[in-house]
Structure 1
Amino acid sequence: MLSEDKEGKYFETLLVHLTDLNIVSTFHNKQLKYPSYVNKLITFLKGNEEAKILLKQLDAKGFTQVRADYDSNGWSCNTTPLIESASLGYVEIVRFLIETVNCKVDNTDAIGRSPLHKASERGHEHVVQLLLEKGASVLLRNKYGESPLYVACKGNHRVIIDMLLLKKANVLVCTCSDKSPLYAACEGGYYDIAELLLNENADVNQCNKAAESPLYVACVRGYTDIVKLLLDNNADVYQCNKERESPLYAACEGGSQDTVRLLLENGADIFKRNIHGESALYVACLLGYTDIVKLLLHTDIDINLCNNNRESPLYMACVRGYTDIVELLLHKNANVHLCDCAGMSPLDVARAEGHVDIYKLLELKS
């Protein structure tokens, strides 16, 4: 902290910096973590007409601030003191800028982010509450189509989400890539937020531009509790993405045994293949998920269903050297004679890859 005899000169220096459009020393000052310093800074700014005029001008015109916060490549962004203060969570500075300087609560930076957007993204509850009290719009979105509700869901800021929903934030508004707030919650594994959004009539089957549903992304991540929640709310277990990958395929690829079991119990399509012809069983064999293979083999799945290169699940298990999976497939009478497009059989690839144990198992079946 500064000694009293140095404060006046120090604050005058901050004013010079503001005149030069440098706000770092004022609004990114490490001393702002001390309430006593904040009070002294506000008192100084309130009592200086030049400072208030300058801050009002900066709010109206913005200024260029180069920071990693905007772009990792060092690009610049036009921002305002209010946006910066909201972003950093300095609620009393935000109050001063709105009530004394009359800064516009919905002015945005060059990326289209408002003070409310930045505070929601960073989880600054008191700032969000103040901004909403001052009439900040919950509907403004940045250049990527992200609303305050979306970024709050993405950041797992439950209290802020409640505040935004009370102000009628739209749960159906998506980003430019068509990601909904529900999708963000499911992607992050935030069960409570997903449940809240569904109670607010979020569309359980609303997909992004890759045609990935909330159920699909929850399956990819192996969030079984969220998968169950979505299924209980009528999520479409057959809905595939643009690669024709089903939720079951995603769960098998992600390696979540519990999620795969849950999907199978809810009637997932075991015969569905993606654009490469890969089935759920194929990808489980490809990645060596033995327990998932066991689950799938307890269904009526086609054990010999090949991909577009005519590679069967058995073929791929032989390539990767998964002896336990090969044994499971052979026990279910997998066809050992199916060859790929190059005419290579499972026996051929096992020998070529040096998997002696598998080669011996296949020889017994040939």
Structure 2
Amino acid sequence: MRTYVGGVNEGIRDARRQLIGYLLEKDKQGLVKYSKPNKELIPERIQPKSPTNKATSSTEQVKQTPKTESEHDAILKAVSSGDLYLLQELLKGLDVNTALLSTDTLLHLAAEHGKEAIVYFLLRQGVKLNLKDREGRTALHRASGRGHTAVALALAKAGADIHATDLMSKTPLHLAAQNGHENTVKVLVHEEKKSLKNQTTVLHMAATEDDATLAEVLLRNGTLVDTRDGQRKTALYHAVRQGNEKTAGVLLKAGAQVDSVIVDAAFELNRKSLLSLFLRYVQKSMSQNEITEKHNKQENRQ
């Protein structure tokens, strides 16, 4: 037993020496990057037309809700069918945020059915963007889960929370990805990148949860692999810290930067399979560098 443990420990020490040597060599070549997040403008927001459309507090007077079940059903039908003219008539004197007799809002329903004109109308009326249904989902969750890309984009640009989570801890991006709506994923990834400022992204969540499939979809659609959160940590750091080898492998394959902080996190776990993953990455990376150097030397000779 002692012989076995000694062998494992020696293997780990050897792996550490190789990784540290690799990092030092990369540092000399200026390959280890500590990039700062780009400062982007906040997405444009759709403003209500008049002060009367502003969201009301619990102490303020609100408009009426539908008086009869038939009136309520008529509103449901108008939204689901996309009949904007009829909806405008039915909503006279009603609060757009409480016009349905359930936890669903008009915006939830319009988003779920992909009724873009209805969504824009409700946004102009000052509808609350981030109200949640009984599953904890916002209108953006509904649009994203159904793949209604234009509606999802309109909601995101209006200020809907891209990182809002439902009762299952799923964001709108999670739902779009798991349902195979890659156009919606691409649009939301783009909006997320525009508003990033040292915050946790869906890629960070995927790394923490070891959702390698989600990570692959996000990276395929433009998510930046080395974006840092509020603690200045990348998705790879969180994957390594949690021992999530599958997602760590996806991130490394996508070109995630390895620095001394990430290597230290790997050694703290003391998991041989994770260290082997890093060594494979190091060997592959060093081989690529050697090929590049040889190619450059040949060009210089010519």
Q: TM-score, normalised by structure 2?
A: 0.51
Measure the CA separation in 2 of the matches of 1:313 and 1:177.
37
C-alpha contact (below 8 Å) 2:80/2:110 kept by paired residues = yes
Residue 115 of structure 1 corresponds to: 74
Measure the CA separation in 2 of the matches of 1:266 and 1:176.
33
Residue 164 of structure 1 corresponds to: 122
Residue 284 of structure 2 corresponds to: 331
Measure the CA separation in 2 of the matches of 1:270 and 1:119.
47
Residue 191 of structure 2 corresponds to: 229
C-alpha contact (below 8 Å) 1:219/1:247 kept by paired residues = no
Residue 130 of structure 1 corresponds to: 89
In angstroms, what is the RMSD of aligned CA positions?
4.7
How many residue pairs get matched? 211
C-alpha contact (below 8 Å) 2:141/2:172 kept by paired residues = yes
C-alpha contact (below 8 Å) 2:236/2:256 kept by paired residues = no
Residue 266 of structure 1 corresponds to: 227
The aligned runs of 1:35-46 (5 Å cut-off) are none
Is the alpha carbon distance of 1:240 and 1:144 closer, same or farther for their aligned partners in structure 2, counting shifts above 3 Å? farther
C-alpha contact (below 8 Å) 2:140/2:152 kept by paired residues = yes
What amino acid is the match of 2:69? Answer: T
Measure the CA separation in 1 of the matches of 2:214 and 2:136.
23
- 1:150 is displaced (CA, Å) by 0.9
- Does 1:194 find its partner at 2:152? yes
Is the alpha carbon distance of 1:209 and 1:239 closer, same or farther for their aligned partners in structure 2, counting shifts above 3 Å? farther
Residue 185 of structure 1 corresponds to: 143
Higher gyration radius (CA)? 1
Q: Percent identity?
A: 16
Residue 167 of structure 2 corresponds to: 209
Measure the CA separation in 1 of the matches of 2:99 and 2:88.
18
Measure the CA separation in 1 of the matches of 2:264 and 2:256.
8
Residue 40 of structure 1 corresponds to: none
- 1:270 is displaced (CA, Å) by 1.1
Larger RCO, structures 1/2 (Cα 8 Å, 6+ apart): 2
- 1:251 is displaced (CA, Å) by 6.5
What is the SS of the residue equivalent to 1:128?
helix
C-alpha contact (below 8 Å) 1:145/1:175 kept by paired residues = yes
Measure the CA separation in 1 of the matches of 2:194 and 2:74.
37
C-alpha contact (below 8 Å) 1:218/1:224 kept by paired residues = no
Is the alpha carbon distance of 1:119 and 1:108 closer, same or farther for their aligned partners in structure 2, counting shifts above 3 Å? same
Residue 140 of structure 1 corresponds to: 98
Measure the CA separation in 2 of the matches of 1:246 and 1:237.
14
Structure 1 or 2: more helix by fraction: 2
Q: Deviations over 1:288-310 (max 9, x none)?
A: x7xx652146545669959x9x6
Q: Deviations over 1:260-312 (max 9, x none)?
A: 7523153342121499x453x51475xxx7xx652146545669959x9x684
What is the SS of the residue equivalent to 1:212?
coil
C-alpha contact (below 8 Å) 2:225/2:256 kept by paired residues = no
- Unaligned 5+ residue runs, structure 2? 1-64, 229-233, 287-302
Q: Deviations over 1:113-172 (max 9, x none)?
A: 64323431343334323323x445422365761111111112211011122223332212
Measure the CA separation in 2 of the matches of 1:327 and 1:283.
15
What amino acid is the match of 2:78? Answer: A
- Unaligned 5+ residue runs, structure 1? 1-103, 318-325, 334-366
Is the alpha carbon distance of 1:311 and 1:211 closer, same or farther for their aligned partners in structure 2, counting shifts above 3 Å? farther
What is the SS of the residue equivalent to 1:117?
helix
C-alpha contact (below 8 Å) 2:140/2:160 kept by paired residues = yes
What is the SS of the residue equivalent to 1:270?
helix
Instruction: Out of 197-206 and 222-231, give the one that drifted further.
Output: 197-206
Measure the CA separation in 2 of the matches of 1:312 and 1:142.
54
The aligned runs of 1:19-168 (5 Å cut-off) are 106-108=67-69, 114-132=73-91, 134-140=92-98, 145-168=103-126
Residue 9 of structure 2 corresponds to: none
What amino acid is the match of 2:217? Answer: S
What amino acid is the match of 2:192? Answer: L
